[in-house]
Amino acid sequence: MTTMTEASVREFKMPDVGEGLTEAEILKWYVQPGDTVTDGQVVCEVETAKAAVELPIPYDGVVRALHFPEGTTVDVGTAIIAVDVAGGAAPAAPAPAASAPAPQPEAPQEEPKPEGRQPVLVGYGVATSSTKRRPRKGAEPARQAAPAAAQAPQPELNGHGRTGVVTPDRPLAKPPVRKLAKDLGVDLATVTPTGPDGIITREDVHAAVAPQAPAAEPVPQAAPAAPVAPAPVVGHDTARETRVPVKGVRKATAAAMVGSAFTAPHVTEFVTVDVTRTMKLVEELKGDKEFAGLRVNPLLLIAKALLVAIKRNPDVNASWDEANQEIVQKHYVNLGIAAATPRGLIVPNIKDAHAKTLPQLAEALGELVSTAREGRTSPAAMQGGTVTITNVGVFGVDTGTPILNPGESAILAVGAIKLQPWVHKGKVKPRQVTTLALSFDHRLVDGELGSKVLADVAAILEQPKRLITWA
């Protein structure tokens, strides 16, 4: 994700650190202009819609410039840092553009394809990006020097044209703005940008739509009254309320939950179970030498119980392929664990959890939780899940109706384990009791199958010896 702008200066572009992500927010810079960097050195931390990721630089040199401050959301493919690989002093970048505009156009146009080594950075590959770098001051003469290229983007809509078109005059707009333009039927090539560096904003798109409604001339007479009504809404009381931009993990979670809730028909079933024997087993395992240094808690045995239930009812471990109209049955279990982090809800998963022994599962759970709390969960760790567990009991609630993680068939919610009166061997005794809730996709999991899975989990937690007899 680099490009040459001068003989010795390389521009490092924002890579796609996930699968198909379009933007990332720069959380922190670890270097400043004038600092020396080496190949593989982490230069910044960025947050995508999936996780926070540290980006290493793929070559040696001296930092020439940081193109964006911390807190800025940058499109994938946009240059974020310039490095002088020759190691010379960093000259003032804007001065040459102002004093000698004529030779400058050659620099941005001569973007040769990276030759030789194409480094693979952590969390992403080296796929060539079609995203254009943001234009800089002094780049206008280059556009004037190529008037024929202005006709190339005409067939484009929402930034997606044929792969062979020339891109120097491609309209600049963020993905949400492109989607808005597509929804409103606006060709971005015809929109006059008013944003910084020639970026098309939402207001520009709405302004382009306004002239298309000549029949609505009688309506403007009522327009003077319109600004009066929204005035109280626009003037927010900052002392009594705080507005937080929706971005990063929260934005991705919101989109995923809405998509899941309105795509997969959810069914949720509940069961209340006596887990006293399971709690006793947890205490015994804590003293077992096989679990020395490992964290043993009820979640470990609940996870193992769910894995055994899936083994007994394998059809529940599947996904719905809408495009091909197929049910994809999974012969492996990537067990997701919903985790609340400072950045929001994430669902990393334990790969091939079905093949792990109980100590191995305990180790994987411990690593997953600690990594999530430290904000170091990688995008790969949150991909490919098949079934999920969400432990709402840690918040003291009895249970809930969990929403499926997109692409998965079931999610098990575990409520708080409380001491309650319970009929045990014909007598009312205080017992450790919890409530389980299983939500499943009714397109591929019918009521019988879902009920069997939930009943098996409850039976194992009531009689943990079934972990041996059923496994």
Beta strands in 182-329 (DSSP E): 199-200, 266-274, 318-321, 326-329
pLDDT at 141: 44
Dihedral, CA of residue 292, residue 293, residue 297 and residue 300, to nearest 10: -80
Decide if 205 contacts 174 (C-beta within 8 A). Answer: no
Global pTM value: 0.55
Look at residues 386, 328, 376 and name the one whose alpha carbon lies nearest to residue 353. Answer: 386
Decide if 2 contacts 116 (C-beta within 8 A). Answer: no
78 vs 152 pLDDT, higher one: 78
pLDDT in tens, 322-351: 888 899 999 999 999 998 887 778 899 999
When the pLDDT of each residue in the chain is averaged and rounded to a whole number, the result is: 78
- Among the residue ranges 15-24, 140-149, 377-386, 440-449, the one predicted with the least confidence is 140-149
Look at residues 364, 299, 379, 369 and name the one whose alpha carbon lies nearest to residue 340. Answer: 369
pLDDT at 427: 94
Decide if 184 contacts 161 (C-beta within 8 A). Answer: no
pLDDT at 236: 66
354 catalytically annotated: no
pLDDT in tens, 81-140: 999 988 554 444 443 343 444 444 444 444 444 444 444 333 333 444 444 444 444 444
Look at residues 273, 310, 272 and name the one whose alpha carbon lies nearest to residue 388. Answer: 310
H/E element holding 370? helix 358-373
